[in-house]
């Protein structure tokens, strides 16, 4: 076998390997869940949540916060919400710490989780004429970056129909990988008296993922085997 033919025989498997190399799987927008029952039916318990809501003035209520699933661990700051104002926010995870910022007000929390698989963006409004909206979303994780052409929005048209079970909408984003940054815009709007606490709010709930690494596709393993076989054949010919 001449050198040119050997070079070609080695390059072809390499080209094949390139074609069959596993592609990084980006996050997916799984769609909306309407109401708390739909969320309950998922059967997940988010490990942490970043939250924005309107507290009672002077009470030191949670207004910008990061909390665990049972609120036994909460980091929070106060925030002066303006009716109908749009605020830029970001939620970042660097592999060990969650950092939540709303219009320059920042809270952070060191966590034991090394990865999160899902984000559930929940908007809630429980008084007539009130609404919560999270929009202009952009997400970057270990596998890529993309604008998210979807919002989470809930508006309460009649408080009699906005009880706990029927006053929310979730936007689910799945298959996250590694550190991530989510940015967007939030708007809390109300009519009449200023709402308090969780009567008008939004949360970004984080579902813990695993730390497993992607397994190579079978075609990729086959390509590696072909390359090894060609290299072995070349060695035998040189030693013959």
**Please, where are the H alpha helices in the chain?**
3-20, 36-42, 218-239
Residue with tokens 């989780």: 113
pLDDT of residue 166: 96
> Which range is least confidently modeled, 5-19, 41-55, 153-167?
5-19
- Whole-number Å distance between alpha carbons of 35 and 126: 12
pLDDT of residue 16: 45
The full length of the chain comes to 240
179-226 residue pLDDT tens: 999 999 999 999 999 999 889 999 999 999 976 544 444 444 444 344
- Whole-number Å distance between alpha carbons of 218 and 215: 9
pLDDT of residue 229: 52
Mean pLDDT confidence for 115-133: 97
pLDDT confidence band for 147 (50 / 70 / 90): very high
User: Average pLDDT, whole number, for the chain?
Assistant: 84
Residue 14, pLDDT > 80, answer: no
Establish how many alpha carbons lie within 13 A of residue 176's alpha carbon, considering only the half-sphere containing its beta carbon.
24
- Whole-number Å distance between alpha carbons of 211 and 134: 29
3-state secondary structure of 93: strand
15-42 residue pLDDT tens: 444 444 444 558 999 999 999 999 999 9
pTM of the model: 0.78
> Which range is least confidently modeled, 4-8, 68-72, 102-106, 199-203?
4-8
3-state secondary structure of 29: strand
> Which range is least confidently modeled, 91-95, 124-128, 201-205, 216-220?
216-220
């Amino acid at each position: 076998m001449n050198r040119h033919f050997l070079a070609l025989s080695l390059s072809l498997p390499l080209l094949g390997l390139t074609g069959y190399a596993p592609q990084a799987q980006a996050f997916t927008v799984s769609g909306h869940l309407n109401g708390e029952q739909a969320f309950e039916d998922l059967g997940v318990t988010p490990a942490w949540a970043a939250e924005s809501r309107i507290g009672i003035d002077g009470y030191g209520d949670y207004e910008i916060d990061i909390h665990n699933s049972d609120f036994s661990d909460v980091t929070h700051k106060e925030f002066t919400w303006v009716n109908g104002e749009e605020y830029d926010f970001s939620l970042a995870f660097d592999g060990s710490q969650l950092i939540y910022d709303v219009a320059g007000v920042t809270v952070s929390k060191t966590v034991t989780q090394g990865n999160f698989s899902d984000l559930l963006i929940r908007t809630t409004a429980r008084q007539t004429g009130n609404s919560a909206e999270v929009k202009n979303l952009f997400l970057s994780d270990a596998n890529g970056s993309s604008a998210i052409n979807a919002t989470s929005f809930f508006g309460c048209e009649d408080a009699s129909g906005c009880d706990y079970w029927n006053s929310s909408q979730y936007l689910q984003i799945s298959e996250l990988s590694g550190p991530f940054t989510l940015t967007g815009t939030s708007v809390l709007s109300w009519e009449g008296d200023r709402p308090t606490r969780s009567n008008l709010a939004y949360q970004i709930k984080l579902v813990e993922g695993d730390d497993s690494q992607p397994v190579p596709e079978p075609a990729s393993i086959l390509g590696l085997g072909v390359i090894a076989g060609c290299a072995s054949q070349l060695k035998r010919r040189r030693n013959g």
